[in-house]
Amino acid sequence: MASILENRPMLAKQVNDVAEVAGYLWQKGWAERNGGNITVNITEYVDDAIRIMPAIGPVTPIGMTLPNLKGCYFYCKGTNRRMRDLARWPMENGSVIRITDDCAHYEIIADNLVKPTSELPSHLAVHNYLIGKGSNYKASVHTHPIELVAMSHNPEFLKKDVLSNILWSMIPETKAFCPRGLGIVPYMLPSSNELAEATIKAIDDDYDVVMWEKHGVFSVAENVLEAFDMIDVLTKSADIYMDACAMGFKPVGMSDEQMSEMTKAFNLPK
């Protein structure tokens, strides 16, 4: 049977970009076993032939009603699937889903009956929120960067914008490419509705990347590569901070004046 990606180059590019990022997450050690998830809103690449495709699996409850997702389609990593496998075989380790008209269920339409990630409700709730606020963000990435998770074990770093300012100050690129910093969500049960709600609140507070305490990060952006890039630059800053500490000194970092200069020079959001 032909893949849904066949003769659809724009749709194929979205899925191939997810596969590329999945490979990076594995190579960096951020995706142990089946750790992490990626969900991308692909609705704009869906044609009439896709819209009439029959479901290949049962109609499945999301666990919440998400009215802004009516008529939406998503590519999702599969549950218990490894990022390293997704990188090589994206349509065997992920699937395309359609949100049903009641906005409370989904059905898999292609290519294989790969059940989406257990954190799908959290991802979809965020996408529902993004559409509701008129955002052009289409991609969400959740992964487990070692250095950032380690820093979340320090209660001092969990105070509002403490970690953001430390990471911004390590290297100018972090301030430039992740200008909204890092939001903080206290530890909550993974895959819970409470975690989804707290993540939405953090994004509503104007963060693009959210730290889930002692768990991982959640990033949203226009596309999956940009979502990855923000996590990447934040983690590089965490590396610099830890390397300096390992050498026996606490890094001074850029001053508030220097960071303010960056904000003005590059017209950054914060």
Active site residues: 119
Residue owning tokens 């990347």: 209
Other beta carbons less than 10 A from residue 160's beta carbon: 10
Q: Are 62 and 120 in contact (CB under 8 A)?
A: yes
- Give the whole-angstrom CA distance, residue 91 versus residue 4: 9
Q: Are 203 and 180 in contact (CB under 8 A)?
A: no
Tokens standing for residue 215: 């768990």
Residue 165 is which amino acid?
A: N
Residue 265, helix vs strand vs coil: helix
Tokens standing for residue 2: 């032909």
Return all residues near 88 (Cβ < 8 A) that are at least 6 apart: 19
